[in-house]
Amino acid sequence: MYKRQFVVNHQSRIDDFARSHKISQKLLKDIKMKGDILVNGMHQTVRYELQQDDVITFIYPKEDNQIPKQNISLNIIYEDDYLLIIDKEKGMACIPTRSHPSSTLANALSYYYQQINLASTIHLVNRLDKETSGLMIVAKYREIHDLLCKDITHIYRRYQAHVQGKVENGIIDKPIYKDGYAMKRIIDERGKQSVTYYQSLAYYDDLSLVEFELKTGRTHQIRVHMASIGHPLIGDELYGGMNGVFDLTSTMVAFVHPVTKQIKVIRKTGLK
């Protein structure tokens, strides 16, 4: 059972204390109804007035994981009591869908959680396309997911891929729009603001190895943006890339840990 414990440093009602520690009203209601709130080991309501040096414990409801378990190997780069960093392989979908009902990262995580006796569902902080490999952050609990996802732009992300043609350095700031049910995204003023920074690392055989930094995290963002400036990713059939091996990879994630407040910087090894 997941719980968070705090030492109170000033007088406050429990609901106000929870809000100041970024526990949402909805989550606090779930804790109240399906978990528990203890002050110095005794159950209390959210209206209870906390005093300095009280020890308050929020006991979170057990999470019900409905995703089928599959014994699939995971490449875990980092793990602590609150989150995981996974190096996802190319060709693995993140979650079960109609077109990919099994053998997903979520199925593998469900099995792993069973092995370590973790009663939680799957909380992916960032997602990667099926054919994109590399680093993904997985929160072990709902609260950790909420804290990390309050502003996803605070999670620093780098990627690498080979693109067509000779590329210099630059910034692409173009809105990306999803038109109806089509998988393909387009550049359109109706879309959401999307910003990609790019830097050329190498050039050979009319290909550039490019590093990307995302300010926003739209679906297919790198692929759409690079195609829009005439440099589609190699092997990207959806956005007009020439023949070759599609190799978009999430190479680095950096963020402030939501509990320890330490800066975590995780890099993928074995890059070109």
Cα–Cα distance, 105 to 89 (Å, whole number): 9
Max Cα-Cα span within the chain? 70
Which residue, among 212, 234, 248, has the nearest Cα to 164 in the 3D structure? 234
Antiparallel, parallel or unpaired: β 195-204 and 207-214: antiparallel
CB-based contact 105:93 (threshold 8 Å)? yes
Buried b (16+ CB within 10 A) or exposed e, 251-272: bbbebeebeeeeebeeebeeee
Strand pairing partners for 171?
Answer: 197
Q: Which of 30, 36, 129, 146 is catalytic?
A: 129
Cα–Cα distance, 176 to 189 (Å, whole number): 8
CA angle 46, 51, 55 (to 5 degrees): 75
129 annotated active-site: yes
Residues marked as catalytic: 129
